[in-house]
Amino acid sequence: MDRGSGTGVALNLQRASGFVVERCLFLENVAEAASGAGIRTGGSSGEIRFNVFAYDSCYASTSDGAGIRAEASTTTVFNNTFVGCYSVVNGSAFAGVFGGTTVFRNNAV
């Protein structure tokens, strides 16, 4: 479990190209003042697949995407499991914001 005030508490991928995040457990990560407690991507491209996001949380009044927050990214999110994720605003499991192209398929939420 990680706690932080910024975004991407467990994993923060900024301007990363061709990343693959696979078969990881993101458990009880907490973003106290921002979004993307599990993973945040910003201006990146890659795949997030076969992971478990369990009980990740965002507590700020403007937060979203407790499991994953994809910002202006070209990201494929597939075959993941999201359980018990919590956000004060929107997208407790996943949020795609500020453009980009995200494919979200075959996930259990």
Separation in Å, CA 15 to CA 37, 50, 51, 54, 93: 18, 22, 21, 26, 22
Find the Cα–Cα–Cα–Cα dihedral 95, 66, 10, 26, rounded to 10°. -110
Q: Tens-digit pLDDT profile for the chain (109 aa)?
A: 556 556 668 899 999 999 999 999 999 999 888 888 899 999 999 999 999 999 999 988 878 888 999 999 999 999 999 999 999 888 889 998 888 899 999 999 9
Question: Partners of 88 in the beta sheet?
Answer: none
Residue 106: CB atoms within 10 A of its CB come to: 9
CB-based burial label for 96 (10 Å; 0-12, 13-18, 19+): buried
